[in-house]
Chains A and B, each alone.
Chain A
């Protein structure tokens, strides 16, 4: 019996231990799920059960259609109010997985006579799926190491802010269900690879299909699994298990993914899917050579192999070149290409570069989102290298790829988070394994001079403390073979290097204590950090803003809904509202009015048209507005209360996008002061001051301050006192805190004058060019 650092019960039967372990496992998983769901409910508790942000509003609207009219109506839904006057074929341009999931849940609950509002399903879908993600991560990590690491990984991913940021209650976005699908597909892949089972391969393919239907990020899986297979082959680890797993996944997965209309024939025609196809082909060749090898003598085989490999290589390369040349294979799509060539997006597709979640990630974001996991996960990667089984390679490749992608785009932090949780769980649980293990290592002879040969009678003597170290050291491993208790045999199995000649382990209770205390302290701090980040940073619905009154109580700023409700109540149902594309989905969802552009940024020219209207002077913008039947223009202005996400701060992107299409009419440099600063005060450039956006934002702003100097609280600049005149627009509505300002576009003057002159006439000023139009004069005469 080896000596123990602390007493462990010995009278437990193996069955009891096993039962207790599995019970604890279930309890732990249930608690983790509870924690995962609960920590995502801050938004609902602090505010209300409401859909957040922008994209979710469209998903919510589509889900409502699905729930009310059924799947086929949804599938064939043409939305004439979006992208006015173009309209949008919704069924063919969305990833329908999310809506279908909510629809199924809604119908199941209804069938059970549980009448739940579809909104509540949408709001609570993401927290619900986060519990499933924790479970999938548990399974995945269990395959990598063991169940205790799995539980740790599940706990990590349950509360880590990097994942919570995209899955709080109300954040009804594709990512809400996608991360669960990602992790479960990976789990099935690992399982298929380990067992060589076509069943698991097919299950992986089915979940892959679900993922394709749910999120554009499926391309990550499409490239991760082939990359893993390729690396395995390069390392000479080709096996029939790999062959079966990969082929069943690829064939079933690709065919089924092509059933999603939005994806269509992309899996066989675009470059980001070519890797998977190439590896599939390579796998066939390798499997074929493997087969031939077992039938042909080795000399002939060498020749055959050489010839066939060269022939296959030339054939494949020329086929690829020909297809690319013939235009059958599209080059990388812009969004994907911008991940490799980081300057690409800014130059050619400013619309992608303008999205805040497409910005590169600075290190504080990593620490904020992953905290201690970010520095523990390299240790986990090292441990994976130590063992380097086939599935460990997956974690290694995943870690490198995801950390690159997360560095390029804030949004892809989401794909990094699972692997960071898995790898740090491996590292952390290895640490705990080593230091919880009560078995004391043997002491080499020179370290224990006073060998007293204490007889190792039973286990009673293992009640040792730090003080009793001397006697413990003297313990002889006489009874190692003697079967001890079930628990200690459990530990013995895990004890590193137990089978080897050198015994390894930790001496003494104090060494164990200090490391374990440190670990517990770090875990506790992690929990505090996650709670704080979630409650403060990631639980704002961004539709409703919160501020604090002077007495510390919460003050709700509800300007967005106020404005959208005003639109809904006071404008004609077909009144077209123009705004920057960020607010398109919200206007459609909450105000139910047609919009020119929305968050589905597929038509750059149309967005540039809006950008041009916003950045041109009134006279130039007016024909654009009239041609598009715009009746109301909506701008977001944060200058009064200091809301920094307003349109003036986004204005340069409007200019840039418009400049991309009309470089002769809009130039970014004209919007800067001669010193190259972006100013809105007296020094602002003439073009800036005359732009529609500037005028709409600051119209009558100075009046609020009375005799005092008006100050823009976002940009901390004084606003000029000279009143801004609007000739072609009328202020229709401004919300309580001025965040949303709505302007009505005037109709053409009924006397045929241009509106500037008409306005000048009405205010009693004599216009410079007040001569009426010749045609009108002819009519009068």
Chain B
């Protein structure tokens, strides 16, 4: 006990000369809305091997010239989570810190940790004191971006390392709610005038067919897999049979739509044509459209499935 008192006294002397690192970090965090802007010196301080606190550090490269798009996408989420952490009570708040280290402020740290990609988030558990993990593993833990750059999963994952869960709540999207409300109100008010649209079967037919076309062109695939619209090199057809880009949805849905339209034209519209010459022309045109577009479709399919043995006129 005595020794402890001495240490406290000694610490007090040091504080008199210089603030304790913990105090310093607390102040910095309070100043930056829960977030500490790090440089290499502060990084060493925050991750000192004697730390009694834990820390989550975000390695990034926000400068435009670095051209790191994911960094700029992720940064707001990170700031939100750090700000949410700033709202907890002072006692747990002092035990966990959020820091952001920009590449341009401390390239040497990036080199030391051999980080070559950004953004990266490391969680440093406490290395000493009561919050040291029971298994003694104080090595930093990398955050897994598999759930995307959103703030909600980030807060949920990081809560494993903080003394109390991060009180993050998704900000209410007022704009979205207002838009929805206005739209509902407007349609309710104009119901009398737009009723003929709702009661028109061809409006519904159009909706149904467009929905089916989009769904059968792999729209849900691009949604679920977050496929890009086109590849970086401008290629719009994705390699591989079970893979596709956003633009393929449009092209394929358009081809399907055109073919279906030709069928409807041939079956429904053409017989009403009263003039034999015009009718013959229309029949030839729509049949031609079917043949050509079908060939195009098959040739696109052959790109996706290299082993496909059949080809039409293209």
Which residues from chain A sit less than 8 Å from chain B, CB to CB? 342-343, 346-347, 359-368, 372, 374-379, 381-383, 385-386, 388, 396, 399-400, 403-404, 406-408, 416, 427, 430-431, 434-435, 441, 443-444, 447, 469, 473, 496-497, 502, 504-508, 510-511, 514-515, 518, 522, 525, 528-529, 532, 536, 656, 663-664, 667-670, 674-676
Which of A359, A504, A514, A670 interacts with B242 by CB under 8 Å? A359
- B283 close to A379 (CB less than 8 A): no
For B114, B201, B271, B312, which residue has the most chain A Cβ atoms within 10 angstroms?
B271
Which of A396, A404, A496, A675 interacts with B220 by CB under 8 Å? A404
What's the dominant secondary structure at chain A's contact region?
helix
Task: Check if B6 is an interface residue, CB within 8 A of chain A.
Answer: no
Which 6 pairs, one residue from A and one from B, show the smallest C-beta to C-beta distance?
Answer: A407-B220, A363-B218, A379-B263, A507-B276, A378-B260, A385-B205
- A407 close to B218 (CB less than 8 A): yes
A668-B274 contact given A364-B242, A375-B255, CB 8 Å threshold: no
| Residues from chain A with Cβ under 8 Å of B153 in the complex | 347
- B209 close to A363 (CB less than 8 A): no
Task: Check if B248 is an interface residue, CB within 8 A of chain A.
Answer: yes
A-B pairs with beta carbons under 8 Å apart, 16 shown: A342-B223, A359-B242, A360-B220, A362-B242, A363-B248, A374-B256, A376-B260, A406-B215, A408-B220, A434-B266, A443-B276, A444-B274, A444-B275, A511-B283, A515-B283, A669-B142
A667 CA to B143 CA, complexed, in Å:
9
- A381 close to B208 (CB less than 8 A): yes
- B276 close to A515 (CB less than 8 A): no
- A514 close to B283 (CB less than 8 A): yes
- A532 close to B215 (CB less than 8 A): no
- A404 close to B211 (CB less than 8 A): yes
A675 CA to B115 CA, complexed, in Å:
8
- A431 close to B294 (CB less than 8 A): no
- B264 close to A674 (CB less than 8 A): no
Task: Check if B116 is an interface residue, CB within 8 A of chain A.
Answer: yes
| Residues from chain A with Cβ under 8 Å of B224 in the complex | 342-343, 360, 408
- A396 close to B244 (CB less than 8 A): no
A366 CA to B217 CA, complexed, in Å:
8
| Residues from chain A with Cβ under 8 Å of B217 in the complex | 363, 366
Write the chain A residue with the least CB distance to B146.
A668
A403 CA to B309 CA, complexed, in Å:
27
- B220 close to A361 (CB less than 8 A): yes
Which of A359, A396, A416, A427 interacts with B208 by CB under 8 Å? A396
- A399 close to B212 (CB less than 8 A): yes
A773 CA to B211 CA, complexed, in Å:
70
A376 CA to B249 CA, complexed, in Å:
17
Task: Check if B91 is an interface residue, CB within 8 A of chain A.
Answer: no
Task: Check if B272 is an interface residue, CB within 8 A of chain A.
Answer: yes
Which of B204, B220, B248, B304 interacts with A385 by CB under 8 Å? B204
- A407 close to B117 (CB less than 8 A): no
A383 CA to B267 CA, complexed, in Å:
9
| Residues from chain A with Cβ under 8 Å of B142 in the complex | 667, 669-670
A525-B256 contact given A366-B218, A379-B267, A518-B290, CB 8 Å threshold: no
Mask, B282-313, CB within 8 Å of A = 1, is: 01100100110010010001001101011010
- A434 close to B212 (CB less than 8 A): no
Task: Check if B268 is an interface residue, CB within 8 A of chain A.
Answer: yes
Which of B117, B225, B243, B271 interacts with A506 by CB under 8 Å? B271
| Residues from chain B with Cβ under 8 Å of A403 in the complex | 211-212, 215-216
- B147 close to A375 (CB less than 8 A): no
| Residues from chain B with Cβ under 8 Å of A372 in the complex | 294
| Residues from chain B with Cβ under 8 Å of A377 in the complex | 212, 260
User: How distant is A364 from chain B, measured CB to nearest CB, in Å?
Assistant: 4
Which of B114, B160, B225 interacts with A674 by CB under 8 Å? B114
A366 CA to B215 CA, complexed, in Å:
10
Task: Check if B241 is an interface residue, CB within 8 A of chain A.
Answer: yes
- B294 close to A381 (CB less than 8 A): no
A669 CA to B243 CA, complexed, in Å:
24
A404 CA to B224 CA, complexed, in Å:
13
Residues of B168-217 whose CB lies within 8 A of A: 201-202, 204-205, 208-209, 211-213, 215-217
For A363, A365, A366, A669, which residue has the most chain B Cβ atoms within 10 angstroms?
A363
A506-B221 contact given A382-B205, A407-B215, CB 8 Å threshold: no
A505-B218 contact given A375-B255, A381-B205, A510-B280, CB 8 Å threshold: no
- A518 close to B280 (CB less than 8 A): no
Task: Check if B141 is an interface residue, CB within 8 A of chain A.
Answer: yes
Write the chain B residue with the least CB distance to A427.
B263
- B218 close to A362 (CB less than 8 A): yes
For A376, A496, A511, which residue has the most chain B Cβ atoms within 10 angstroms?
A511
| Residues from chain B with Cβ under 8 Å of A674 in the complex | 114-116
A407 CA to B215 CA, complexed, in Å:
6
Which of B212, B220, B275, B290 interacts with A381 by CB under 8 Å? B212
| Residues from chain A with Cβ under 8 Å of B264 in the complex | 379, 382-383, 427
- A385 close to B215 (CB less than 8 A): no
- A430 close to B267 (CB less than 8 A): yes
Residues of B143-164 whose CB lies within 8 A of A: 143-144, 146-147, 153, 160
A136 CA to B220 CA, complexed, in Å:
30
Task: Check if B124 is an interface residue, CB within 8 A of chain A.
Answer: no
| Residues from chain A with Cβ under 8 Å of B42 in the complex | none
A375 CA to B259 CA, complexed, in Å:
6
Task: Check if B59 is an interface residue, CB within 8 A of chain A.
Answer: no
| Residues from chain B with Cβ under 8 Å of A367 in the complex | 297, 301
| Residues from chain B with Cβ under 8 Å of A379 in the complex | 260-261, 263-264, 267
- B146 close to A364 (CB less than 8 A): no
User: How distant is A434 from chain B, measured CB to nearest CB, in Å?
Assistant: 6
User: How distant is A730 from chain B, measured CB to nearest CB, in Å?
Assistant: 30
Write the chain B residue with the least CB distance to A670.
B142
User: How distant is A752 from chain B, measured CB to nearest CB, in Å?
Assistant: 26
Task: Check if B219 is an interface residue, CB within 8 A of chain A.
Answer: yes
| Residues from chain A with Cβ under 8 Å of B95 in the complex | none
A385-B202 contact given A361-B220, A403-B212, A667-B144, CB 8 Å threshold: yes
A388-B276 contact given A360-B225, A506-B271, CB 8 Å threshold: no
Task: Check if B68 is an interface residue, CB within 8 A of chain A.
Answer: no
A525-B310 contact given A378-B209, A379-B263, CB 8 Å threshold: yes
| Residues from chain A with Cβ under 8 Å of B242 in the complex | 359, 362, 364-365
A536 CA to B308 CA, complexed, in Å:
10
- A362 close to B259 (CB less than 8 A): no
| Residues from chain B with Cβ under 8 Å of A385 in the complex | 201-202, 204-205, 208
A364-B160 contact given A396-B208, A528-B310, CB 8 Å threshold: no
User: How distant is B78 from chain A, measured CB to nearest CB, in Å?
Assistant: 17
| Residues from chain A with Cβ under 8 Å of B301 in the complex | 364, 367-368
- A447 close to B257 (CB less than 8 A): no
Write the chain B residue with the least CB distance to A365.
B242
A434-B274 contact given A375-B260, A399-B212, A669-B144, CB 8 Å threshold: no
Which of A343, A404, A434 interacts with B271 by CB under 8 Å? A434
A383 CA to B205 CA, complexed, in Å:
10
7 extra interface residue pairs, beta carbon distance < 8 Å, beyond A382-B209, A669-B143: A364-B241, A366-B218, A375-B256, A379-B263, A404-B211, A668-B144, A668-B146
User: How distant is A337 from chain B, measured CB to nearest CB, in Å?
Assistant: 14
- A378 close to B267 (CB less than 8 A): no
Task: Check if B270 is an interface residue, CB within 8 A of chain A.
Answer: yes
Which of B146, B243, B256, B261 interacts with A362 by CB under 8 Å? B243
| Residues from chain A with Cβ under 8 Å of B204 in the complex | 385
Write the chain B residue with the least CB distance to A469.
B276
Task: Check if B252 is an interface residue, CB within 8 A of chain A.
Answer: yes
A664 CA to B217 CA, complexed, in Å:
41
Task: Check if B77 is an interface residue, CB within 8 A of chain A.
Answer: no
Task: Check if B72 is an interface residue, CB within 8 A of chain A.
Answer: no
| Residues from chain B with Cβ under 8 Å of A504 in the complex | 271-272
Which of A376, A505, A675 interacts with B259 by CB under 8 Å? A376
A473 CA to B280 CA, complexed, in Å:
14
Task: Check if B279 is an interface residue, CB within 8 A of chain A.
Answer: yes
- B256 close to A347 (CB less than 8 A): no
Write the chain B residue with the least CB distance to A440.
B276
